[in-house]
Amino acid sequence: MAIFRQPPSGLELQDQVAQLYTETREDVYRYLLTLGVHPPKAQEAVQEVFLRLYTSLKKGEKIESLRGWVFRVAHNYGLKVRARQSTEERFDPAFEARLVAPTANAERDLLDREKMTRLNTAVEGLSEQQKRVLFLRMEGLRYPEIASTLGISASAVGEFLRRALLRLKKVRDE
């Protein structure tokens, strides 16, 4: 992850943020869906987060991990958006993951679909915090970044992940 030690020039900064936006926006969007934010709001939130990133960098804020910062701000922003949409039904992205794209091998598809359904059920059964830690880890964030996003310690991140994996392991053994 790039670290801006020296303030880049205006255009250079625009290019850097735009590049990060292109590389990361789908991951952040998907994470917001897992928080229960509806797709149009999630997309709006992603764009807003990157504009905030640009503003912060433009103001000279030192950010060690841009990806970590983006997820942290997206997380907080996503929770606020979700709170505002509380009267609506919460978006369930996992529903889409239950289906496995069909291939030529029908038997294989069935096994995959069963496995994904089981995994999905297990993930849905995790506590909210375990789910968040797991999804952020799956997006490639390191423990300190996850810790900073969720406001917990890095050791708590390890513990939530351990519990989440134990639940998944249990499903695997069934």
Partner 1 sequence: MSSVFERHPEHELVPYLDGELSRQQAKKVSGHLESCGRCRAELEELQNAVADCASYRTAIVAQTSAAPAPWRDLYRDFSRIDESLANNSLLVRLMRPLVHSGVPRWAFVAGLTVLIVLLSLNQLRQAPSVQAATLLRKAVAVSGSQPRPAHRIRVRSSRHADFTRAANVPAVLVEVAQAQAVAALFQKADWNWNDPLSARSFEQWRDRQVHKTDEVSAVQDPQEPSEKLTRIRTASPEGDVEAASITLDTANYDAVSERLEFRDSEWVELSEIAETPTDNAGGSGVDSVGVPVRAAEPPSRPAAFTPGSPASISDELQVLSALNGIGADLGDPVEVALADGKVMVTGPADIPAGRQSEIRASVASLPRVEVAFNSLPAVSSLASAGAPAAGTATSPAETRLEKHLGHAEFDRVSTQLLDLDDAAMQRVFALRRLALKFPDEAALSPRDLNVLRDLSRKHAAVLSQEVGSMEKILIPTLSSLGGAAVSVPATAHAGWQPAAEDVYLSARRVEVLISQTLGMTPGKASPSELMTALSQLQANLDDCQRALK
Looking only at residues 45 through 104 of this chain, which bind partner 1 when binding is defined by CB under 8 A?
Answer: 46-47, 50-52, 54-55, 58-59, 72-73, 76-77, 80, 93-94, 96-97, 99-101
- What's the CA gap between 126 and 167, in Å, rounded? 8
Nearer to partner 1, 2 or 26 (CB): 26
Nearer to partner 1, 2 or 121 (CB): 121
User: Rounded to the nearest whole angstrom, what is the least distance from the CB of residue 6 to partner 1 in the complex?
Assistant: 19
Return the residues of window 11-50 that contact partner 1 according to CB under 8 A: 14, 17-18, 21, 25-26, 29-30, 33, 39-40, 42-43, 46-47, 50
* Under 8 Å between Cβ of 147 and 72: no
Please give the single-letter amino acid code of residue 112.
D
Any contact of residue 162 with partner 1 (CB under 8 A)? yes
User: Rounded to the nearest whole angstrom, what is the least distance from the CB of residue 60 to partner 1 in the complex?
Assistant: 11
User: Rounded to the nearest whole angstrom, what is the least distance from the CB of residue 74 to partner 1 in the complex?
Assistant: 10
140: left (phi over 0), alpha (psi -120 to 50) or beta: left
C-beta atoms surrounding 81 within 10 Å: 20
Return the residues of window 130-149 that contact partner 1 according to CB under 8 A: 134, 137-138, 142-144, 147-148
The alpha carbon of 152 is separated from its chain's Cα centroid by a whole number of angstroms, namely 16
User: Rounded to the nearest whole angstrom, what is the least distance from the CB of residue 147 to partner 1 in the complex?
Assistant: 6
Cα–Cα–Cα angle for 74, 27, 148, rounded to 5 degrees: 45
Please give the single-letter amino acid code of residue 47.
Q
- What's the CA gap between 76 and 59, in Å, rounded? 21
